[in-house]
Amino acid sequence: MKSKATHTSIWLYVLSALFVLVNAYFIYKNNYYFSLLPAFIAIVYMSFYNLKQLLFFVIFCTPFSLNLESMDIGSSIGFYLPTEPILFGLTIILVLRLLHRRTYDKAILNHPITYAALFYLAWLGITSITSAYPMVSFKFLISKLWFIIPILLFGTILFKEKKNIFLVQWLYIIPLTIVVIITLIRHYGYGFDQEIAHWIMSPFFKDHTSYGAIVAFYIPITIALLFRKENTPIIQFTLLFILTVLTIGLIYSFTRAAWLSLIASLGVYFLFKFKIKFKYVAGVGILALIVGLSFYNEISYALSKNKTDSTKNLGNHIESMSNISTDASNLERINRWDCAVKMFQERPVFGFGGGTYAFEYARFQHSDNLTVISTNFGNKGNAHSEYLGAFAETGLVGGLSFIILLFFVFYRASILYIKLINENLKLILMGIILALTSYFVHGLLNNYLDTDKASIPVWSSIAIIVALDIYHYKPNKKFNEEN
């Protein structure tokens, strides 16, 4: 037995040496792709023997992932490497495994969040058939499947182990922090200029708004991890360092929507902190809506008087949030929203199909709404709203199904937070609630759920809520304390 192990070791040394020599030759020829062979072998191995580690690997790689459209090797391909090809393969493996074993935890399938997600997917399938661009919509549907099946359905099972709930946060936060540090160092070289902030985070993020949204997402989760009682001094110091880096990164992302979303998250935290009942929140919301509609003309006039444009001065940048008279970014966002509304009005039942907004919105632009950054090619953002985009692309049912999904997510999470006894679980759940609040408030102004950077954090957070509801909450104090 010992000689066999020795024989295997010898072959490993020989193959390793051979790889080093061959790779050195390819590097000499300015070809670096052969260097990826060990990672490829590891991915193949995990695909057959350890799907859990493969999913963890995908989560870790997400902040570093690169879009082929921004690389010379794939200008017409919208894949993010290495995450989306792996997720696509993982989806196929999981579906085949499910068909072979014919068993799956019915508690997950019967959960209201899962029902809502599956209905959302089913309607996407229907609107792909009726789509103005069926191939685009079916590709959009498949991309949703490779996020929802591995992350939500498979991820929920993984989160049956409490340690995995905390592990996935670290797996995303650490590489994200590295990306933010790289961005800040590069930004420092340009004197933290606002114009530079639009692209300085590339190639990891396509623009400053998506970058700001994800940095804002992980600030509440980092704070939640920071307050765990089990933290050693080293972990505590590390989390304080990470929180500082993320905060500075968010400030110098110059992403006004991300700043606003964190303020909204803080407001939600105080609702839980002071145990303010939902009926009072709803009442204030309805009252604010009535006042807003009653004084719409006066409010519009007041906003039109604001001439402050976004600048590198942080005070002016904040003030420019309400400038709808001269700020090109705000005006273009209104232009995109107007197009989305007109698209919905033209096709209110099925919409134009998932992923089609960029191909259709140009003809709905009105000359009065055009700005200096307007384009007919959909290459500078999408509908700038997760919600209006859903209504424009998938019609009334699709838009409502998305909102209903979010309702169940926040409703179940809120009930869980009130009833959970385990302090660590309550902490991370609060961090997730605030993170999701941040993203979906930001979603009023931008939309990124078609990218791995946003979809993986969002769907993994939803999976954690489902797992907590099914596996980690029981109306039994002893169970909660042990878990």
Q: How far apart are CA 87 and CA 83, in angstroms?
A: 6
Is the pLDDT at 239 greater than 60? The verdict is yes
Neighbour-count burial of 343, counting CB atoms closer than 10 A to its CB (0-12 exposed, 13-18 middle, 19+ buried): buried
Q: Does residue 27 belong to any structural domain of this protein? A: no
The set of residues, in sequence order, having a beta carbon less than 8 Å from that of 286 and lying 6+ positions away, is none
Contacts 24+ apart (CB under 8 A), 68-77: 70/202, 70/203, 70/206, 71/203
The pTM is what?
0.87
Q: Cα-flanking dihedrals φ and ψ of residue 67, to 5°?
A: -85, 125
| Per-position DSSP letters for 311-327, written without gaps between them | -SSHHHHHHGGG--SS-
Tell me, what's the pLDDT at 288? 67
Per the prediction, the chain carries an average pLDDT of 84
Q: Does 419 fall in a domain?
A: yes
Q: What is the pLDDT of residues 269-309, one digit of tens each?
A: 999 988 887 777 767 767 766 765 565 454 454 544 545 45
Is the pLDDT reported for residue 20 higher than 60? yes
Q: Model confidence over 305-330: pLDDT tens digits? A: 545 455 555 554 444 444 455 567 77
Contacts 24+ apart (CB under 8 A), 63-67: 63/172, 63/175, 63/176, 63/178, 63/179, 63/204, 63/214, 63/453, 64/175, 64/179, 64/204, 65/204, 65/452, 65/453, 66/203, 66/204, 67/203, 67/206
3-state SS string for 38-98: HHHHHHHHHHHHCHHHHHHHHHHHHHHCEEHHHCCCCCCCCCEECHHHHHHHHHHHHHHHH
In this predicted model, what pLDDT tens digit does every residue of 445-471 receive, in sequence order? Answer: 889 998 999 999 999 999 999 999 999
Rounded Cα distance between 130 and 348, Å, is 12
Residue 314, in any domain of the structure: no
**Residue-level pLDDT at 1:** 45
Which position has the token pair 């099972």?
157
Could you tell me which of 145, 146, 142, 149 has the C-alpha nearest to residue 104? 149
CA–CA separation, 180 vs 187, rounded Å? 10
Question: What are 356's two structure tokens?
Answer: 């089609």
Tell me if the bond preceding 82 is cis, omega within 30° of 0: yes
Could you tell me the two tokens for 482? Answer: 């042990």
Across residues 118-141, what is the average pLDDT? 96
pLDDT of amino acid 289: 61
With respect to residue 409, please indicate whether it lies within any of the assigned structural domains. Answer: yes
H/E stretch holding 376 reads none
| Whether the bond into 475 is cis, omega within 30 of 0 | no
Q: Is residue 370 part of a domain?
A: no
Helix (H) / strand (E) containing 357: helix 357-360
pLDDT at residue 369, as a whole number: 74
Domain count, the chain: 1
Type of residue at 401: S
Residues 6+ apart with CB under 8 A from 369: 331, 334, 335, 338
How is residue 352 annotated by DSSP?
S
User: Which of the pair, 250 or 10, is modelled with greater confidence?
Assistant: 250
CB neighbours of residue 445 within 10 Å: 22
Q: Where does the pLDDT of residue 99 fall: very low under 50, low under 70, confident under 90, or very high at 90 and above? A: confident
| pLDDT tens string 168-179 | 999 999 999 999
348-370: average pLDDT: 89
The answer to whether position 456 is within a domain reads yes
Nearest alpha carbon to residue 457 among 168, 260, 179:
168
Domain membership of residue 171 (yes or no) is yes
- Which of 24-28, 264-268, 436-440 has the weakest average pLDDT? 24-28
Q: 258 versus 29: which is more confidently predicted? A: 258
The CB-based long-range contact list for 324-329 (8 Å cut-off, 24+ gap) reads: 328/371, 328/372, 328/373, 329/373
Torsion of CA 230, 232, 238, 244, to 10 degrees: 60
Give pLDDT, residue 379.
59
Least confident of 53-67, 170-184, 357-371: 357-371
Look at 116-125, 133-142, 318-327, 351-360 and tell me which has the smallest mean pLDDT.
Answer: 318-327
> CA-to-CA distance for 90 and 81, rounded, in angstroms?
14
Please give the Cα distance from 158 to 165 (Å, whole number): 8
Query: Could you give the percent of the chain with pLDDT greater than 70?
Result: 79
Q: Are 221 and 457 in contact (CB under 8 A)?
A: no
pLDDT confidence bin for 91, thresholds 50/70/90: very high
> Is the pLDDT reported for residue 478 higher than 60?
no
Establish if 269 belongs to a structural domain. Answer: yes
Q: Which helix (H) or strand (E) holds 329?
A: helix 328-346
> In this structure, what token pair is assigned to residue 133?
């661009």
Provide the domain limits for residue 447. 104-277+384-482
pLDDT score for 21: 76
Q: What is the DSSP letter of 309?
A: P
